[in-house]
Amino acid sequence: MNYGAIGVTIGHEITHGFDDEGSQYDKDGKLRMWWQPEDWVRFREKGQCIIDQYGNFTDELAGMKLNGINTQGENVADNGGLKESYRSLGNVLSRSPLLMIIPTFLNCFIGSSSSLGMAMSAEMGQFL
């Protein structure tokens, strides 16, 4: 199983259902407020954390700061995809003792495979 590229990609796409746009649709795909008020407040607070984090990144070459508001949906999906892929790998490793002998290799594989997969898709003009 490839938890690096495909795991992160699948997790990324699923997480879009819970980003700043997807979260506004109910289980039937209808645009409506379905959240409990206190849950919506917590969700927006966590979204602001992502906005603030990414809004502090600067591309030194271009001399430009990233706009965390404009990129929020993709940033949430990237973080969610990586987190879910890593959780899935941990779940498999906890049930498969033989795989436990190479966790360092697998952790490196996740990073390099995920980065490689995203770089290749960006280079080809595709968005994962």
Catalytic residues: 13, 78
Whether 43 and 34 have beta carbons less than 8 Å apart is answered as no
Distance from first CA to last CA of the chain, Å, rounded? 18
User: To which residue do tokens 């404009």 refer?
Assistant: 70
CA dihedral 21, 22, 28, 34 (to 10 degrees): -70
Whether 43 and 24 have beta carbons less than 8 Å apart is answered as no
Q: What are the E-state strand segments in the chain?
A: 58-59, 64-65
